[in-house]
Chains A and B, each alone.
Chain A
C-alpha cells in the first residue's frame, strides 16, 4: 500500500517538475525574442543618435570688415568657399559639385542664422558647426565599405580623400543628434526628426483619452449597474465584444465616410485621428471597465444601500473608486494599442509628408508609427538607422506610458 502511494507521489512530483520546467522555458523563449528584437534595434539605431558635423571657420566664409545685408549674401557659395579654404584647394566647377555633396543643404541656413544673430562684425577665430551630409555621416560611421570599387560606393575617391583630410584637421566631430528630436520630417536624413510626428501622436492620444475614457466608463457603469436584462441589451453587449476584434482599418473607413465625407472634418487632422482611435479603444475600455466593476464585491453595494445610499451614491462613492485601478490599466492598454496603429490613419490621410509641427488638433499631422513606416520605405540608406532610432523612441514612449499607469494605479489603490 505504502509503495503504491510512494510511486504515485514520485510520478506527481515528476510531472510537477516537467510542468515548471516548461513554464520557465516559455519565459526564457519570450525573453530571448525580446532580447533579439531590442538588440538588433540598438545595433542599428544607436548610431542615429549622433550626427557628424563639420566646423567651418567663419572668416573664410564672410568678407572682412562690415557684413553685407543678410538678404544679399549667397550663403551656399560662402559655405563652399569655407570648405575649400579649409582643405586648401581651388575647386573647379565639377569639384565644387562634389564638394557640395559633403555638407547638408541646411549648412547655408545655419550660416545665415549665425550672421543674423551676430550683427556687425564677426570674431576673427569664430567657427560654425554645420551638419555634414548623410553620405559623409554614413562614411564616418563606417556604414559602407570604403575600399569597394568607386562605382560601388556613394562617395568618390576625391570625396573620401577630402573627408580624411577634414578628419586630420579635426574639423569633423560627432555630436548628439538633436535634430532627431527637434525637427519635423525631412527628406534629408541628416535633418529628419520625429518631433512633428510625436506631437501628432500626443494630440491624437489626448483626444482619444478625452473621448473614450468617459464614454467607455459610463457605458460600463450603465451596463453593469443599471441596465435591465433585456434582449437588446444582450445584443448590445455582444456587439461591443465583437467590436473589440474588428480589424482597425475598418475604423479608418468609418472615419473617412462619417467624419470626413459626412461631417466635413479636415483630412490628416489629429482631431479625426483621435476620434477614430477613440472608436478603436472604446470596446477595450468598456470590456475591461465592466470586468473591473463586476469584481467589486456585491456585499459593498448591499452595505451601502443598507445605510441609505442612493444607487448613484453607491456607484460614485464605492463601486467606481474600488474598480478604478483596473479601469486605468484597461484604458492604458487600449491607448497603447491606439498609439501603435497605422492602418486606420492611412484612410484618413495621415500617411503623409508633413514638415511643420502641428499646433492644434485641426492642423495637418502624422503619427510616430506612420513616420517609422515612411522612413523604412525611403531609398536613402541613412534612413535605416533613423528608422530603428524612431522605433526605440516609440518603445520608450510606450514604456513610460505603462510606468505612468502603474504609478496611477498605486496612487489610486491607497
Chain B
C-alpha cells in the first residue's frame, strides 16, 4: 500500500502546482455585457440588432443582477472582464471606488430610459385607485399607531380597513423576492414615500436613519404579501386566476399583457407611457449602461455598439426599444447622452 500513498501525494502536488492562468482568453472579438435582469430584455435586443446589422459578432449578455454585474465589471481591465455593466439604479459611490481600486478609473454612464413598476390586478377585477400611503399601510410589517412614536403590528386584513372606499376584500399582493431590483425600487419609491406621510416617522429619517429604514421598508410577512419567484409572467398568470389579488411587476410585462391585467392608479395617475416618461407616475426608475473607457478601442465593435445603443432608432421616441416597453428619455436628454458617449465623457471618481 506504500505505492498508493506515494502516487496520491504526487497527484496532489500536480494539482497544487498546476500552471495558473494557462487557459486565459488570449483575445475576445465580441462585446461582453453583464448586469440587471430588468435591463436584460432591452440590452439583448440592442445586442441582437447590432450583431445582425454590423460585421461584428453579437455581444454576449449575462443576466447577473445589478450588484452582481458591478462586482464583475469592477474586477479589472482586460479581455477577461466585462466591457459594459447595465443597472436598474445608479452606480453607488462604494462601487465606483471598488472599480478604481482595480484600475477601472474611467467609467462612462448612459441613461437609456425609464421603467415603471405597476400595481396591477386581473381585468375582471374592479378598477382601483391607490395612494402611496395606502400601499404603505397595506404592506408594511409594522405601521404607526394612533399615538406618535407608537408602532403596531400591521392590523389591516382588508383593503377597506386601510381606507374606506377601497374594495372590501382581503389584502393579497404578489411580488418579487428580495434579490430583485424591482422589489428594491418598489420598496424605496412606493412604501418609503407613503411612510413619510407620518410626521414622526419622517423626523426619524435624520435622527435614526436605520430605524426609519426598517419602519418604512420592511414588507409584512403574515401572508398578505406573497413572494413569488423572480418571474413576472408567473405573477400575471396568478392574477388572471385570482381576481382578488394584486401583483407588482415591471411596466413591460403590463405592456405585453393588456388583455389579461390592468394597473391601479397610484396617487391618481395611471402608469401609461406618457405618464412614466414625464415623471407624473411616481413609481418609476431610470435604467443605465456603464461602459469601461479603457476597453473602447481594445475590444472590436465596442465603439460601434455604443453608437447603436445611443442612436435615435434605438432609444428615440419611435425607437425599437420603445416597442419592447422601454419608456424613452426626453429628446433633449437622449441627445445630450448621445453626445456625451461619443465624446467618451467619464464619471467623476467621487461618485454621486
The contact of A376 among B18, B51, B80, B233, by CB within 8 Å, is B233
Q: Contacts of B64 on A, CB cut-off 8 Å?
A: 349
Q: Which of A148-156, A199-207, A301-309 contacts B (4 or more CB under 8 A)?
A: A148-156
A residues less than 8 Å from B255 (CB atoms): 379
Tell me the minimal C-beta distance from B82 to chain A in angstroms.
9
A61 CA / B22 CA spacing, docked (Å): 54
In the complex, which range does the number of interface residues on chain A fall in? 35 or more
Partner of B18, one of A145, A186, A263, A349: A263
| A351/B57 contact (C-beta < 8 A), A226-B4, A262-B20 known | no
In the complex, A266 Cα to B30 Cα: how many Å? Answer: 13
Question: Would A374 and B63 be within 8 Å (CB), given that A379-B255, A379-B324, A380-B256 are in contact?
Answer: yes
When distances are taken between beta carbons in the complex, the residues of chain B under 8 Å from A97 are: 318
Query: Which residues, 150 to 194 on A, are CB-close (under 8 Å) to B?
Result: 151-154, 186-188
**CB of B44 closer than 8 Å to a CB of A:** yes
Interface flag for B24 (CB, 8 Å): yes
Contacts of A228 in B (CB 8 A): 1
B252:A379 contact, CB within 8 angstroms: yes
Contact A352 B63 (CB under 8 A): yes
Bound-complex Cα distance A376 to B256 (A): 14
Provide the bound-state CA to CA distance between A227 and B7, in Å: 13
- B49 partner residues in chain A, CB cutoff 8 A: 105
Interface code B1-17, partner A: CB below 8 Å = 1, 0 otherwise?
A: 10010000000000000
A79-127 at interface with B (beta carbon < 8 Å): 97, 101, 105, 109
The tally of residues in B whose CB lies under 8 Å from a CB in A reads 46
- Shortest distance from the beta carbon of A73 to any chain B beta carbon, whole Å: 14
Cα A153 to Cα B123 with chains together (Å) = 12
Q: CB < 8 Å: which of B43, B48, B250 contacts A355?
A: B48
**Residues of chain A in range 343-392 having any CB-CB distance to chain B below 8 Å:** 349, 351-356, 362, 364, 374, 376-381, 384
Bound complex: CA of A351 vs CA of B72, how far in Å? 14
A379 touches B51 (CB 8 A): no
A268 interface residue per 8 A CB criterion:
yes
Q: Do residues B21 and A148 form an inter-chain contact, with CB atoms below 8 A?
A: no
A264 at the interface (CB under 8 A from B): yes
B233, A349: Cβ atoms under 8 Å?
no
Known pairs A187-B48, A267-B62, A352-B60; list 12 more (Cβ under 8 Å).
A145-B259, A187-B45, A264-B21, A265-B24, A266-B24, A268-B62, A349-B62, A351-B63, A352-B61, A379-B232, A380-B256, A384-B233
Q: B residues engaging A (CB < 8 A)?
A: 1, 4, 18, 20-25, 30, 37, 40-41, 43-45, 47-49, 51-52, 57-58, 60-64, 80, 123, 230-233, 250, 252-253, 255-259, 318, 323-325
